[in-house]
Every structure is written in structure tokens, then in C-alpha cells.
Amino acid sequence: MASQPVAAGDASGTRPDGTSFSGHIGQTLMLGLPLAGAQLAQMSINVTDTALIGRLGPEPLAAAVLAAQTFFLVWMFGAGFAQAVMPVAAAAAGRGDVPGIRRSVRMGLWVVLLYGALVMVPLWHTEAILLALGQEPRVSALAGAFMRILQWSMFPALLLVTLRSYLGVLDRANVILAITVFGAILNGALDVVLIFGHLGAPALGMAGAAYASVTANIAMALIVFLYTWKAPGLAAHELYVRFWRPDWQAFAEVLRLGWPISTTIVAEVGLFAAASILMGWLGTIQLAAHGIALQLASIAFMIPLGLASAGTIRVGQAYGAEDWTGVGRAGTAALVLAVGIAFVGALFFWIIPEALISLYLDRNDPNAAAVLAFGAPLLFVAAAFQFVDGLQVVASGLLRGLKDTRIPMLIALFSYWVIGMPVAYLLAFKLGFGGPGVWIGLASGLLCAAVLMTARFQARARLGLTPR
């Protein structure tokens, strides 16, 4: 099914025409797969860092897990404001409003840059925060030193995710994918050189991985900035012309939609970060195994996360065009695709858990066998919650396309912190299930969110989110 242009020139983007469910499947795949690929490439930066740091031993690996989770938590809150750009710009594209696209993106950049400046101080004191949370002093010191380099990735990473929302709305997801793959390759090459001291460079260990990540993020942000400034077809948006001039109405809309999105994201990311804290109470070996399992689950999660972004854009475009049939079909297509992708990811976790975990381990390390033995059961649980995790993130994305963010935020807070975390603590420490109990608790929170958010999207007309 061909999409219908909404304004002259390729700067305006496309919108669903609402005539065919199979067409929506195809369009969602065409948009979602490059976005998912970009998510995977972005995730590969952290995966590569963690895998290579794992060669340094369980203690550096545990420190890297804590630092990476802390950075990711803070970054994801800021990324919520960047994601608020997506439904606003998509709705503007759906109704052919080029100035509306420009206003939302420009003010989104303002918001994330201001946020980046605010979080630099707490990131600088990561060691003290981890010590206050009961982590081991040596691991906390290593994590704090790692963060004092890694935190300078915050500005380029936030700039990148905001402009990624912009390009996704304009159906330029392939550009996003190409830039992110370049950044991932650059990061991997720098990791090898700087961590282990190749090509005449000093062996910097963990610090080398942090420097590599900063460099890769700066490079990607610079490329996407130049592309959005100079690329043919984007001149009509005048994105950086008089950039310093505020548009307070658009600024307020990004904030209004963004803070519930940020809170929703952090409610989930924070759930997993808190799970890392619980694992740290069980011991360094358990935390290292948890970190590996979490990385693998996060890799699988990037595909439904990309589909969720595609769903936000497709539903947002239909919403802006007042195509209520297109809203329903675009949403259902994204949910169906999420279930199919989750099944594929679950199969890998069920069939070859030891092989996947071994990718992160040096078999000559005396602790490798213990990490492997502890990590394999975690992947069995992770396989089971791939389905509910995919459904909840896609359903949340669909609701964002309708500019519905506050109730989903409350659903997330309830599901993850009233259901998920108490169940995790109870099973792990009171009933003696240990690490698998933590992960069963995670799954219970994700299941609750999946059910409630999917039901809300299906009841959108009855709840007044759409006329029909």
C-alpha cells in the first residue's frame, strides 16, 4: 500500500491512508525495521563496551554494569522529551503543517540540551550515590571513575535521539540506521584500541571504553546535525534558522507530553536498575551474570522498541489527518508484529542460553563457570517475558501517537513499582528464589503494564482519545 503525501516536497513526510491492514503491516515494517536496526546499533555500543570490559574480570564488569545502567536511566529520562517530539511532529506531518514540524523539533532540542546541563552534577557523583545504595566500595569507585568520562556522552546522545525522532517522522529511517551503524563500528574499533592498548595506544582498561563511547556519540551527533542542516528536501523546515528564538507554545507542548513519557520510560528502566541493585546485594558474581542477561534481553528489546517508534509515527500521522480507521489499523499492525518478533527472540534464549552468555566471558577466568551457571536460568525467565515486554512498549508507543501520556505513566508506575519490584524482592529475599526470583518479579510488572496499556488503546474511542 502506498502512503499518501501530505505536503509538497519530501520534507513533509507521509501518512497512512487507512485502506488496508496488510498495507499497514508493510508500512510499519518499512519504517520500523530501520528504526529497530538503529536501536540495535545504538545498543551495540553498550554491548561492545560491556563484552570487552568483561575480559578484564568480574569486578570491572560489575562496575561497568552499574555505571551503564545509571547513565542509561538518566539519558532515558531526557530521551522522553525527545520522544515527545515524535507524536507532535507526526501529527503536524499528517495535516501538512511544515511550520508545526519545525516548531516541535526545535523546541525539543532546547528542552533536551537544558536537561543535559542539569544532570551533569549528579552523574559526576555516581560513586557516592552507589555507595549510599549499598554497593561494594571497590566496585563503586570503578563505576564512578568510568562515569566521569562517560557522562560527556549525554549532550550528543540527547541531540541524536531528538533528531532521530525528526527523521523518523519524515520517513528517513534509513539515514538514522546508516549513521548509527557507523557510530557502532567506530566505537567497537576504538574499544579494541583503547581498552587493550593496540596500535601504539596505551591500555586504558575501563576508561578506554568510556572514551570510545564519548567519541562515537559526538561523531554520530555531528553527522546527523550536518545532514539535517544540509540535506536536500529539508531546507523547507529551516530547522536551525534563528534557532535562538523561542516558541513557548511548542516548548510547553514538548514539556507537557515529554515529562510523562520520561517518567514512563524511567519507571521501566528504573525497575531494571533497581533489579541490578538487588543483584548487587546477592554478590558480585550474581551481579555480573545479571548484567549479561540484561544486556541480552535489552538487545532483543530493541526490535519492539523500534516498532513502538514506528507505531507512534504511524498512529500520529493518522491522528493528525483525522484518519480514525488508519489509527486502528496502524496500531493493530504494530502489536501483531511485536508478538511475532518476541517469539523469535524467546526461541534464542530458550535454545542457546549458555552460548549467548559465553560471548561475554573469558573461559580462562576462574569465575567464568560460576557466572555462566547463574546466568542461564535468568535467560529462561527473560525468554518468557519477551512477549509482554514487547506488547507493553508498543502499546505505550501507540498511546503516545494519540498524545495520551499521563494515564500510561500512571499505569507504568503502578505496574513496575507496586507490582513488579515488590514481587521481585519478595521472591528473591523472603522466599529464597534469589536471582530468578528478581527476574520473575520483573516479568510480573511487565505483564501488568502490557495488559493495561493494550486494553487502553483498544478502548480509545470509548475513553475519548479518538472520535471513533
Q: What is the rounded average pLDDT of the residues 374-400?
A: 85
DSSP 125: T
On whether the CB atoms of residues 453 and 396 are closer than 8 A, the answer is yes
Cβ neighbour number for residue 283 with a 10 Å cutoff = 17
Mutual angle of helices 21-54 and 58-94, in 10-degree steps: 160
Of 425 and 56, the structure prediction assigns the larger pLDDT to: 425
Q: What is the rounded average pLDDT of the residues 201-221?
A: 89
What are 322-353's pLDDT values in tens digits?
A: 888 888 888 999 999 988 888 887 888 888 87
- State the cell numbers at 181: 551503524
Q: Of the segments 188-192, 353-357, 385-389, which one has the largest average pLDDT value?
A: 188-192
Alpha carbons 429 and 421: distance in angstroms, whole number? 12
On whether the CB atoms of residues 220 and 160 are closer than 8 A, the answer is yes
Q: Rounded to two decimals, what is the model's pTM?
A: 0.79
Angle value at C-alpha 225, between 220 and 229, nearest 5 degrees? 150
Q: What is the rounded average pLDDT of the residues 176-193?
A: 92
First to last CA, the chain: 23
Partner residues linked to 287 by β-bridges: none
334 contact partners, CB below 8 Å, separation of at least 6: 28, 32, 307, 308, 310, 311, 314, 315, 394, 397, 398
Instruction: Please report which confidence band the pLDDT of residue 455 belongs to, taking 50, 70 and 90 as the band edges.
Output: very high
Alpha carbons 397 and 168: distance in angstroms, whole number? 14
Alpha carbons 24 and 1: distance in angstroms, whole number? 7
Sign, CA dihedral 312-314-320-326, equals negative
On whether the CB atoms of residues 243 and 225 are closer than 8 A, the answer is no
Q: What is the rounded average pLDDT of the residues 216-222?
A: 94
Where do we find the cell 504494530? Answer: 334
Question: By 3-state DSSP, what share of the chain in percent is helix, strand and coil, each rounded to 5?
Answer: 80, 0, 20
What are 59-108's pLDDT values in tens digits?
A: 888 888 788 878 888 888 888 898 889 888 888 888 888 888 888 898 99
Q: Residue 367 burial (CB < 10 Å; 0-12/13-18/19+)?
A: middle
Q: What is the rounded average pLDDT of the residues 292-321?
A: 85
Alpha carbons 157 and 155: distance in angstroms, whole number? 5
- One-letter identity of residue 89: A
- State the cell numbers at 281: 546485594
Ramachandran quadrant class, 200 (left: phi over 0; alpha: psi -120 to 50; beta: rest): left
Instruction: Please report which confidence band the pLDDT of residue 363 belongs to, taking 50, 70 and 90 as the band edges.
Output: low
Alpha carbons 357 and 379: distance in angstroms, whole number? 9
Q: What percent of the chain has pLDDT over 70?
A: 94
On whether the CB atoms of residues 51 and 192 are closer than 8 A, the answer is no
- State the cell numbers at 138: 571497590
- State the cell numbers at 423: 514481587
Instruction: Please report which confidence band the pLDDT of residue 366 belongs to, taking 50, 70 and 90 as the band edges.
Output: low
Of 339 and 223, the structure prediction assigns the larger pLDDT to: 223
Instruction: Please report which confidence band the pLDDT of residue 415 belongs to, taking 50, 70 and 90 as the band edges.
Output: very high
Angle value at C-alpha 266, between 393 and 239, nearest 5 degrees? 80
Q: What is the rounded average pLDDT of the residues 360-375?
A: 72
Given a cut of 70, is residue 362 above it in pLDDT?
no
Of 25-34, 170-179, 224-233, which range is least confident? 25-34
- One-letter identity of residue 138: R
Alpha carbons 50 and 195: distance in angstroms, whole number? 11
Q: How confident is the model at residue 18, as a pLDDT? A: 47
Alpha carbons 183 and 162: distance in angstroms, whole number? 16
142 contact partners, CB below 8 Å, separation of at least 6: 59, 60, 63, 64, 206
Q: 3-state DSSP call for residue 18?
A: coil
- State the cell numbers at 68: 551503564
Alpha-carbon Rg of the chain, whole angstroms?
21
What are 153-181's pLDDT values in tens digits?
A: 999 999 998 998 899 888 888 898 999 99
Q: How confident is the model at residue 420, as a pLDDT? A: 92
**Nearest alpha-carbon partner for 89 in 25, 7, 150:** 7
**Nearest alpha-carbon partner for 86 in 99, 113, 105:** 105
Q: What percent of the chain has pLDDT over 90?
A: 28
